[in-house]
Amino acid sequence: MGKLRLSASPDESNTGWKFYFKLYCFLDTENVPKDSVEFAFMFEQAHEAVIRGRYPGPEETLQFLAALRLQYLQGDHNPQVKIPEMSLVFPMSRLRARVQNSAKTFAPSSVSSSGGGGGSLSERSGTSEKKRSSFLEGTLRRSFRSGSLSRQKLEEENSLEAWMREEAAAVKTCVIDKWRKLQGMNQEQAMVKYMAVAKEWQGYGSTLFNVECRDGSFPSELFYSYGS
């Protein structure tokens, strides 16, 4: 069962259009031979779910999966070789959503009740409490500073982007550290290990649908899982 591909032109170098048939349904995921085309399809499908934020695992697990993907793509870590963008191996959209939710927790209107506290972001994304405090202090200074609302909003967005860059750098460092520890693992072993970790989630193989919660009684990121 191979991968079929149609090109919009006989000369692929002259066009960016490619058409792929994707194998989506697997009836028996446990007994697929590890060296088969079907297993490779399962691996790519699982990875696509991960980087799209459709795998609700803890960040430590997501970082390990990113390291396995790098080992699969590039072999042992080599500082002389360019590392792919983190968005190709790690769900950066989930990281951004986490930063934005943390920033909302520290809105000026909530300072009196929260005292600028809250759970440490370092427990969830590897960054320090200092970054959160810095963002809060900057937000407070802007709220008391004279100026247009549009300018204050722009400054807040710039601060948030700076925070996001720091978070992304911290994630990259953690992923690379985990990647170094995989030295000696060949491509097939990396693929098999990736799938073993993915299958640890009890909802593996299910189709996920986004769920919107309006009453605030549940987390902002919710999925409805449907599977056999």
Domains of the chain: 5-226 (1.20.80.10)
* CB-count exposure of residue 179 (10 Å: 0-12, 13-18, 19+): buried
Instruction: Give the model's confidence band at 69: pLDDT under 50 very low, under 70 low, under 90 confident, else very high.
Output: very high
Q: Return the number of other C-beta atoms located less than 10 Å from residue 113's C-beta.
A: 7
Q: Chain-centre distance of CA 95, in angstroms?
A: 6
Averaged pLDDT for residues 118-145? 49
Query: Percentage of the chain with pLDDT > 70?
Result: 58
> Do residues 127 and 166 touch, judged by C-beta distance below 8 A?
yes
The pLDDT tens digits for 142-194 are 555 555 667 777 777 788 888 889 999 999 999 999 999 999 999 999 999 99
98 closest CA partner among 61, 127, 130, 138: 127
**pTM for this entry:** 0.67
What is the crossing angle of helices 59-74 and 149-180, to 10°?
Answer: 60
8 CB-near residues (< 8 Å, 6+ apart)? 15, 17, 18, 19
